[in-house]
Amino acid sequence: MTDPADRDWGEAPPSMTPPDLLREPPATARGARTRAALVAAARTVFERDGYLDVRLADIAREAHCATGSFYTYFANKEEILAAVLDEAQEEMLHPGVNRLRESDDPYRILEASNRAYLEAYRRNAKLMGLLEQVAQVDRRFADYRSRRAEAFIRRNARGIADLQSRGVADAAIDALLASRALSGMVSRLAYSVFVRDEAGAVDFDELVDTVTRLWANALRFSDVPAARGGEELS
């Protein structure tokens, strides 16, 4: 019998958009182009001005269309934000701590996962900042964002459990709690570095190396490569 954890390993994560805010796409090519222009404009304006300060007229102006045309495709600011997030969420996908083949190097897999996550966060830093703002004022978006984050936490927990079963990670650690703590650490660090710029200039490779080493040491990997410019740790 297939383990449920095996079955949902490859499932797409939950949407971070309330489905009732998403309309059917336009039936005509012209309508699709206009809607796409509005969505692209909305992302630009939201990321530039913040969610609270944006007016629908600002979005229409950025899209070079009449404000009245906006209402053909969207009823309000919430609907066009939902459309922006629905399109952008694919850009923000990243690999988790995946199950390993016997020949895989666990540390390098972990490093690649952290690098992909941080690259996606850096690439979408303005949108991530927008999500933080929206989550403070709209409970629906906050709930869907939390569900998506929880799916990634549980996916990483399955990866940790797999490492434990192979004797790579400390079997005494609760995999889900460890994933929750470590995933949260990396997420908040990425927000601090890429959105808030609280850490100043940070070398990206150093950032990847640091979070990977923290993960590996927290899980008590038996074989941790040498630090950059340092000696091998054990």
What phi and psi values does residue 233 have, to the nearest 5 degrees? -105, 150
Q: Is the pLDDT of residue 95 over 70?
A: no
What is the predicted pLDDT for the residue at 224?
Answer: 79
- What is 90-218's CATH number, 1.20.1640.10, 3.90.640.10, 1.10.357.10, 2.60.120.680? 1.10.357.10
What lies within 8 Å, CB to CB, of 1 at 6+ separation is none
Which of 27, 126, 150, 42 lies closest to 86 in space, CA to CA? 42
Torsion, Cα 145 148 152 157, to 10 degrees, reads 100
Do 19-87 and 90-218 agree at the fold level? yes
Rounded Cα gap, residues 90 and 68, in angstroms: 30
Rounded Cα gap, residues 168 and 161, in angstroms: 10
Q: Which two tokens stand for residue 138?
A: 């709209």
CATH 1.10.1280.10 fits 19-87, yes or no: no
Question: Stretch 143-153: mean pLDDT, rounded?
Answer: 91
Question: Stretch 116-141: mean pLDDT, rounded?
Answer: 92
Contact 194, 92 (CB under 8 A): no
pTM: 0.81
Q: Is the pLDDT of residue 10 over 80?
A: no
What is the predicted pLDDT for the residue at 88?
Answer: 87
Q: Which two tokens stand for residue 171?
A: 């079997």
Q: Is the pLDDT of residue 230 over 60?
A: no
Which of 164, 212, 175 lies closest to 224 in space, CA to CA? 212
What is the predicted pLDDT for the residue at 126?
Answer: 93
Domain ranges of the chain: 19-87, 90-218
Q: Is the pLDDT of residue 97 over 80?
A: no
